[in-house]
Amino acid sequence: MNANRHNLVGLAAKLAAIMTILASTTAFGVPGVAAWRATVNSDWGTAANWLDGQLPSDPATGAGTTYIDAFNPLPVVSTLGNTTPAALYITPNAGMSVGSGGQLSIAANLEYGNMGGGDCLPINITGGELNVGNYITMGYGDYPAGHVAQLNISGGTVTAGNIAIHTTGKAKLDISGNGKLIVNAGGNAEYYVANKFIIANGEATNIVVPPHGDVTWTGSVSSDWSNPGNWANGFPTNALALNVIINAAGNPCVISTAGNYTLHYLYLGINAGLSVVSGGQLTISGDLTTGMWGNSLPVNITGGELSMGGYLNMGAAGYAGSVNISGGTVTAGNLGINTSGGAKLDISGNGTFITVNNPGLLGAINYWVANNAITANGNAAGWAVKVDTNAIANKVVLTAVQLPPPNFSTGSVTRLPDGNISLTATGAVGAAYNLWASTNATLTPIMSTWTLLSSGTVTTSPFTLSDLTATNFPQRFYLFSSP
C-alpha cells in the first residue's frame, strides 16, 4: 500500500510522456480552448482578457483546456463562481493569483511548470478558494530536469484530489498565515511534507504543518468525541466530511457514547491517540490508519465497540501506531500491520478482534502471532492468542487465553540412582508454571503451605524437571499451578 502511494518514479514517467507532447506549445489559434491574453486588465472574469473573448467557462470552449500564457498583467481571481471545464496549464514565465473573495474550480488537473521551455512564476493564493478536481502537478517540464513552480498559500484554501511535485527541488508548495491545503488522505502529501517539498512559512523551523483532513480533532472543550465543539472544519458525520483526522490535543479523544460514525476514513496524527470505553461505539466506513505521518499514540479499546468497513491499517508508513484491546470488540474488514516502527495489536482481558476469514489474511495473522506482532496480555508468559475460525462463519476471531499449567505424564515419576526424583510433564509451549512439593497433599493454601521447587515457561513438550531435595523427605507430593 505504501509502495503504491509513494511510487513517484512511475508517476513521473507517465507525466514525462505527457509533457513531451505538450512541450513548448501555447494556445495560439487553437480552437476549443481558453487562453489568457490580458487585453484589458488582470481580472480573470473579464471575457475580453481571453483569446477570442472566450472565458474558460464559455460554452464555446466546450471541454477544452485552459492555458495561462505569459501576458501581463497575469490573471487574478477575485470573484466567485469561476470554472474551467478541463485541465488548467500554466505555461513558462506565467503565473496567477487567487485573492480574498475569489473562487476558481478546475474540473481536472492543475498543470504547473509541466511544459517545456522555461520556469513558471509563482501561483499566489492569498485568500478565497482554489478547487482542483484531480491532481495538482508541479515542475515536471523538460523531464527529468524539471522547472521552477512555486505555489504559495498564505490565505484561503486549496483543495485537490492529490498532488504530485517533481522532486528536483525546483518545485515547492509553501503554506503560511491562515492558508490551508486539503487533499485526500492516503495520497502523496505526507511524503512531500516529510521531504520538505511542502513547507511552512518559507521553511521556518518553528512552524509545523499538521496533517489536514476534512474534519480535525482539536479537543478544545473536552475529550468527548460526540461534542461538536471539539472539532474543526465541521463534524465527522457532516455530509461533506471525507476524512477524519485525530490530531494531538490537550484533551485526547474518547468515544464513550453510542451511535458515533464517520462517512469515510479516520487517521491518527503524530502523537495522537484514541480511546473507546464501555458504552462507546464508533463505526468507520473506510479504514482506520495509524502511524501515517509519524509516531501515533495507541488506540485503546477498554470496552464498547469499534468497527471499520475497510482496513485496520497499523503503522502504515513505518511509524508506531499500536492497538490495545483489553475489553469490548473491534471488527475490521481487513488487517494490515507494518511492524517496522513497532506497531502491534495486543489483546487482553475479554477483548475481541474480528475480521474476515480468507487464506491470505489468515496466513498473515498466523505469521503476526508467531512473530509477536499480535500478542496476548502484553506478551506475558503463559498467555496466547487464540485464532478461532469456527466461532463465527467466514470470520477470524482473536482473543487472549491463559494457557493451562503442565500435567504430569503417566509414569512420570522416576527415582534417580542417587535417590532424588525426576519428573516428566507435558504442556502447551508458552505455558507458564510453578512446580510445588509437599509431604502432605491436603495442606492449603498451596502458595503458603507447599514448597516452590521451580518456575518457568514450557519451551518443549514433554519436558523433565528434577527434585534434588527428595532424599530429605520420606514422601513427597507434587503439583503444577499457573503463576
The Cα 11–Cα 3 span in angstroms is: 12
Domain that holds residue 129: 2-203
Q: What is the pTM of this model?
A: 0.54
**The three three-digit cell numbers of residue 95, written as one number:** 503565473
Please compute the mean of the pLDDT values over residues 14-29 and round it to a whole number.
Answer: 38
Whether residue 209 is contained in a domain is answered as no
Q: Give percent above pLDDT 90 in the chain.
A: 61
The Cα 158–Cα 216 span in angstroms is: 17
Do residue 195 and residue 231 come from a single domain? no
The pLDDT score that the predictor gives to residue 59 is 74
Q: Is the pLDDT reported for residue 272 higher than 70?
A: yes
Do residue 334 and residue 196 come from a single domain? no
The pLDDT score that the predictor gives to residue 72 is 92
The total of structural domains in the chain comes to 3
How sure is the predictor about 202, in pLDDT bands with cuts at 50, 70 and 90? confident
Bridge partners, 300 (sequence order): 275, 324
Do residue 148 and residue 127 come from a single domain? yes
pLDDT digits (tens, 9 = 90+) for 436-463: 999 999 999 999 999 999 999 999 999 9
pLDDT averaged over the chain? 86
- For the ranges 156-170, 224-238, 382-396, the maximum mean pLDDT occurs at 382-396
Q: Are 148 and 116 in contact (CB under 8 A)?
A: no
Which of 119-123, 211-215, 364-368 has the lowest average pLDDT? Answer: 211-215
CA-based nearest residue to 435, from 449, 420, 415, 455: 455
The pLDDT score that the predictor gives to residue 477 is 93
Do residue 94 and residue 10 come from a single domain? yes
Q: Which of 154, 177, 203 is the last residue of a domain?
A: 203
Q: Which of 402, 418, 450 is the last residue of a domain?
A: 402
Q: In terms of DSSP bridges, do strands 215-217 and 288-289 run parallel, antiparallel, or are they unpaired?
A: unpaired
The pLDDT score that the predictor gives to residue 63 is 65
Bridge partners, 34 (sequence order): 66
Do residue 117 and residue 158 come from a single domain? yes
Please compute the mean of the pLDDT values over residues 278-282 and round it to a whole number.
Answer: 97
pLDDT digits (tens, 9 = 90+) for 299-342: 999 999 999 999 999 998 889 999 999 999 999 999 999 999 99
The Cα 154–Cα 442 span in angstroms is: 81
Do residue 346 and residue 398 come from a single domain? yes
Q: Is the pLDDT reported for residue 215 higher than 90?
A: no
How sure is the predictor about 275, in pLDDT bands with cuts at 50, 70 and 90? very high
Could you tell me which residues come within 8 angstroms of residue 140 by beta carbon, excluding any fewer than 6 positions away? 12, 15, 16, 19, 113, 114, 146, 147, 164, 166
Whether residue 210 is contained in a domain is answered as no
The pLDDT score that the predictor gives to residue 428 is 86
The pLDDT score that the predictor gives to residue 185 is 61
pLDDT digits (tens, 9 = 90+) for 51-94: 989 899 887 666 688 999 999 999 999 999 899 988 999 999 99
Do residue 44 and residue 76 come from a single domain? yes
The pLDDT score that the predictor gives to residue 21 is 32
pLDDT digits (tens, 9 = 90+) for 177-186: 888 888 876 5
Q: In terms of DSSP bridges, do strands 323-337 and 345-347 run parallel, antiparallel, or are they unpaired?
A: parallel
Do residue 431 and residue 396 come from a single domain? no
Q: CA separation (Å) from 166 to 11, 16, 173, 192, 200?
A: 10, 10, 11, 10, 18
Tell me the CATH number at 457: 2.60.40
Q: Is the pLDDT reported for residue 361 higher than 70?
A: yes
161-200 core/surface letters (b: 16 or more CB in 10 A; e: else):
ebbbbbbeebbbbbbeeebebbbbbbbbbbbbbeeebbbb
Whether residue 380 is contained in a domain is answered as yes
The pLDDT score that the predictor gives to residue 29 is 40
Q: Which of 372, 402, 432 is the last residue of a domain?
A: 402
The pLDDT score that the predictor gives to residue 16 is 39
Whether residue 127 is contained in a domain is answered as yes
How sure is the predictor about 12, in pLDDT bands with cuts at 50, 70 and 90? very low
